[in-house]
Structure 1
């Protein structure tokens, strides 16, 4: 199992992303924060948590994938694949 700070690099749509394991306690907190009031799971909250705690380089957010012309940000592809990779890494540490 991964230790706090363990990293993995994944290539998605030609971009290298560094994922970092936040530790088992933080992993559990992240999963708890993604639970909804009705006991479901929020994919939006999970993406936010992955952006903040797991995907460390390059730093990404919604604008990174959707683009934001006002900020001069061009949209990148690979959102679904990166989220899948980061979620798997968070849960398994691999």
Structure 2
């Protein structure tokens, strides 16, 4: 059974699902920069395709919700253990 979590971002609920160990390693291979930071487009693309399972989102759907991208990215990254920065914190390297 997959690990799932329901989060609320800007009063909308999203269901996140762990993509599995192999897919997570693929994320590290494609979206982790040599300095330890994250390639934001690559990682968000992964989250849209493999982590956010409900409601399904696409880049086109985010065009009207640009202010949603950063908090949603942070929630996905925190869910997968990629960052430990609390969403409310101003200290973020993302």
Same fold (TM over 0.5): yes
Q: Any unmatched runs of 5+ in structure 1?
A: 68-74
| Higher relative contact order structure (alpha carbons within 8 Å, sequence separation ≥ 6) | 1
Q: For 2:6 and 2:61, locate their aligned partners in 1 and report how far apart those are by CA, in whole Å.
A: 18
Q: Equivalent of 1:90, from 72, 77, 80?
A: 80
1:14 alignment partner in structure 2: 11
Q: For 2:66 and 2:54, locate their aligned partners in 1 and report how far apart those are by CA, in whole Å.
A: 14
Size of the aligned set, in residue pairs, is 80
Question: Cα RMSD between the aligned structures?
Answer: 2.0
Q: Any unmatched runs of 5+ in structure 2?
A: 83-94
Tell which structure's C-alpha radius of gyration is larger. 1
Moved more, 24-33 or 42-51: 24-33
SS for the counterpart of 1:17 is: strand
Tell me the TM-score normalized by structure 1: 0.73
Q: For 1:18 and 1:27, locate their aligned partners in 2 and report how far apart those are by CA, in whole Å.
A: 17
